[in-house]
């Protein structure tokens, strides 16, 4: 029978897991077996830089944290070593970084088991879709370009109208200048 101090520590860990999950918009359950210490350190640095919290927990503690919640279906993935990678504001960061690591790593046992999005469990197909999304800055620049394109087209049309009007105004001026030059040439020198 565990002591009261050990039980209190475990209850605190369960609360920490609940907090991590509830404060995040997305999260992934990862089996991190087979990753070297060097790769793990680099992966954690990449995740931290992107604002992703990455922590490993005992499966029983994760199970206690998500049991009887909407995330209860994720309990089936709680086998083997499990870490939770969660993000508070970037939906795709964890999926993008972890998927990139899986593609480039030599480890065949490091895998994404499942995940959640806005408090609802998601499958590997949605996680793959999230991983393919560009980062936040790229998405914002794409949106800015979409908004800018109609304004740029409008500006080009207005400029074309101004240029066309300028060409039409230059032709009559040239026609008026030509008869004046002919009259000066035809006038007798005095």
Give CA–CA dist 161/165, Å, rounded. 6
Q: Do 163 and 82 fall into the same domain? A: no
* Beta pairing partners, 83: 30, 56
Residues 110 and 169 in one domain: no
Same domain for 51 and 12: yes
> Is the same domain home to 129 and 140?
no
* 171 and 80 co-located in one domain: no
Residue 96 has, within 13 A of its CA and on its CB side, a CA count of 16
Q: What is the pLDDT of residues 42-83, one digit of tens each?
A: 999 999 999 999 999 999 999 999 988 899 899 998 998 999
Residue 181's pLDDT band (boundaries 50, 70, 90)?
Answer: very low
**Is there a single domain that holds both residue 67 and residue 84?**
yes
| Separation of alpha carbons 115 and 77, rounded Å | 9
The verdict on 167 and 119 lying in the same domain is no
Q: Are residues 54 and 114 in the same domain?
A: yes
pLDDT-based confidence at residue 176 (cuts at 50, 70, 90): low
Do residues 100 and 146 share a domain? no
Q: What are the tens digits of pLDDT across the range 145-175?
A: 888 878 878 788 888 888 888 776 555 544 5
State the total domains in the chain.
Answer: 2
> Which residue range(s) make up the domain with 141?
135-190
d(C-alpha 81, C-alpha 78), whole Å: 8
Mean pLDDT over 102-113 rounds to 86
Given 133, 155, 175, the domain boundary residue is 133
**pLDDT number for residue 187:** 52
pLDDT digits (tens, 9 = 90+) for 121-131: 998 989 888 88
Q: Which of 112, 133, 154 is the last residue of a domain?
A: 133
Residue 179 has a pLDDT of 53
Q: How does pLDDT run across 1-31, given as a tens digit for each residue?
A: 678 898 899 999 999 999 999 999 999 999 9
In this structure, the answer to whether residues 24 and 85 fall within a common structural domain is yes
pLDDT of 27 reads: 93
CATH number at residue 52: 3.30.70.1730
d(CA 48, CA 90): 12
Residues 115 and 165 in one domain: no
Same domain for 75 and 47? yes
Where a domain ends, among 94, 111, 133? 133
Q: Could you tell me the pTM of the whole model?
A: 0.69
Residue 150: per-residue pLDDT: 82
């Amino acid at each position: 029978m565990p002591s009261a101090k050990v039980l209190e520590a475990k209850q605190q860990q369960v609360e920490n897991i609940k907090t991590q999950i509830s404060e995040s918009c997305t999260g992934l359950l990862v089996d991190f077996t087979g990753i070297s210490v060097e790769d793990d350190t680099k992966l954690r640095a990449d995740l931290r830089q992107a604002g992703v919290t990455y922590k490993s927990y005992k499966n029983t503690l994760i199970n206690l944290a998500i049991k009887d919640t909407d995330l209860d279906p994720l309990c089936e993935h709680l086998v083997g070593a499990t870490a939770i990678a969660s993000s508070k504001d970037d939906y795709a960061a964890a999926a993008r970084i972890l998927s990139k690591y899986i593609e480039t790593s030599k480890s065949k046992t490091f895998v994404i088991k499942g995940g959640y999005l806005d408090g609802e469990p998601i499958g590997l197909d949605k996680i793959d879709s999230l991983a393919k999304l560009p980062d936040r800055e790229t998405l914002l620049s794409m949106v800015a370009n979409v908004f800018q394109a109609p304004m740029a087209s409008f500006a080009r049309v207005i400029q074309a109208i101004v240029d066309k009007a300028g060409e039409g105004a230059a032709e009559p001026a040239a026609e008026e200048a030509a008869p004046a030059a002919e009259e000066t040439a035809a006038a007798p020198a005095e």
